Chains A and B, each alone.
Chain A
Amino acid sequence: MLLKKQISDSLNRCKSYRKRILEISQQVFALHLGGSYSCLEILDYIYEFHIPLRKKNKNDNIFIMSKGHSCIAQYVILENRGVIKKKELDHYCKAGGKLGCHPDYGNPGIEASTGSLGHGLALAVGICKANKIKKNNSKVFVILSDGELQEGSTWEALMMAANLELDNLICFLDHNGSQSYGVTRDEHPKFYPISNKIKSFNWETVTVDGHKIGEIDKKFYQRKTKKPFFLICNTIKGKGISYMENKPEWHYKSPTPEQYTQGLLDIENGI
């Protein structure tokens, strides 16, 4: 179980990540703010408690951002950890910079190129299988978007992960309930329930509040089986910014200078 201090430290880190992302939003338009804010706590949890600060050996756990469009959230964490330099992030999406709007394999801390949805899970299945073949105990952590579950390829990978008995695969679903076109429940009512579908593909499945790392951690260690593990994390798109929360248009939109100021206040005061 996490200590109170660990939880409050995480909340503080996430505050500073939200501010840094907002700051970047004033320099470039190419941002997916809503979906980045929804997965920040999950991401912070994975990095802080499961990914070593410096890659030491081939047995280290790794992380794959399958919802590549939210990689700005990954970048600010990698910056805080010293994996990405401030100067590099300052050049995000700018000519001469190496960090783009989607993760690029070969960049520091980036284990796979994603951005086209429905690719990350199969890549993770392959990596987990390679770890099994090489008798290496490391785990692979993945964050999927809920929209990504509409890709058939995601279900192929879900099926194969179970077939290959990959207990070293842990998948977090950033279930923020909205996507580019609108609110998922309105656009695709038969998409729900999610949990039963994943369970029926032979994954151990739990549901958790994706903004509470204490709860995430508890569920993580209450795992009961050796099946691949799926955590449906209920989250809020645009979490932390009053005018963004649960507004699908903030999937891909940049705040005005006034909205930026308001956003900083929201983050500081905790809405």
Chain B
Amino acid sequence: MSDLQKEVTNLIYRESTLLDRREWDDWIDLYTEDAIYWVPSWANEEETTDDPELQLNLIYLRNRGGLEDRVFRIESRDSYASVPLDRTVHVVGNVLVENENGDEVEATANCIIHTYGKKGGLTRGSLYDFSMRRVDGELRITRKKITFIDDRLEGPIDVYHL
């Protein structure tokens, strides 16, 4: 395994571990200030929306502040959907480095997310498209697109379910 493959894989593993262990601040720190976090919605049975600006997404956060909003809400303990907090286990696989250009890297991965909450256990799947940038020697996420394969959503969905 190349050093880059290891580095990219570690970053993706790190992210899912921090989400599952609810270490929100460290999770956010994996993202650059200008990071985009995008979860398209399904436009029909076979295609997702593909223009995040002018079509409806499930989540579309245009900088890290959007992730901070989510964490603010979770940590407030005042969100009905987030108390009690669902338990989650992300299992990431199929990590592929798709492109490298200087400090910029693109990678894809798959994730199976098992959650447990009021509805019992639910298993879901996501396809990840990452863009990363080397900042001060360390890879950070500049863009994460999550294709959440469910189009009939069961229960509230937040950043830790995806």
Pair from one complex: no
Residues of A within 8 A of B (CB): none
Which B residues form the contact surface with A (CB < 8 A)?
Answer: none
